[in-house]
Structure 1
């Protein structure tokens, strides 16, 4: 069994120790390193070949947003790039929203249940996005408030009518299974459409698709 390689970047030693023990208790996860600030986190991402990086936002030397942006930029065009899962103390603030913009695949609260954090790691590794459930509405409102009028960028016009329909359903939070059932398609076909949509729009994953949709007022 190929294990998911997980790295952790957080400035609290006690918190790092707890997360390390949690990761090491899972047969399908491998803890590959830790760092105490964003600059060290960038170096860790380059040396550890981590699949998923758990990233704190507020840290000394370099914060988690800047570190996330650097890690995402460095992995552009790389096959199987690391996914960044942001750890935050608050349901939603400007920093969490900025982390999503920087390329994070989602965020979870530091006080989340261990099972939820573990599930989130597996989810982002599979290429999906995770947003703390309590913050989803606030996150969408945050981005929607920035676009008072619908503005469809040129890249959106490159979608086929069918891709446009699937885009809207995905932006509303429907899973591949739910979209497949609703549109009478196979899940494999839906997955292919989602991949093409992300490619055409220059997006990394579903969380950026949702942000894109609400930011440009392409869904209600």
Structure 2
């Protein structure tokens, strides 16, 4: 009996470790720009469903309970996804994209039969292959990537403009500095210029006086 009990315990532990291993791999392969993908939830899941799923997944692969080379990173992805869907402003942005994708998918598969009032329980929806949620996720992946690229282009442009403004400001500072240095050098040579002018004037006066004697 003891041997059988140990075997059952070993098999249970192995199955549990396998489930944890598979969950870490699933998170690492999930589309990182879509928190629904990371948490393995359908689009528009409720706040309660998000928290329940996060708790379930995070407990399964928590770094303190399961050691894996990607465990900590996978856990952080789960935590970030839950935080995004728990933030009302970010959730609004994400769900706006998902709504747009749902509309696009339904219009493409139903054509003229599409209606804004169609429910997910409609037979035309439940019979879709691939399932509606899978098609929405696929479409959302395209939109999220386009949105991310647009953000990066905007950020790059802003950085370039910031760099140009910084270079302009630095050039203006350098120009003012050169002007101040030139003015300082001009002032430093003031006595030298005055002395040179006096010498020149004195020599000119002597020469003029000498010429007058010659003429006389």
Structure 1 and Structure 2 fold alike (TM over 0.5): no
* Category of TM-score, reference length = shorter chain: under 0.3
Larger helix proportion, structure 1 or 2? 2
* Larger CA Rg, structure 1 vs 2: 2
TM-score w.r.t. the length of structure 2 is: 0.23
TM-score w.r.t. the length of structure 1 is: 0.22
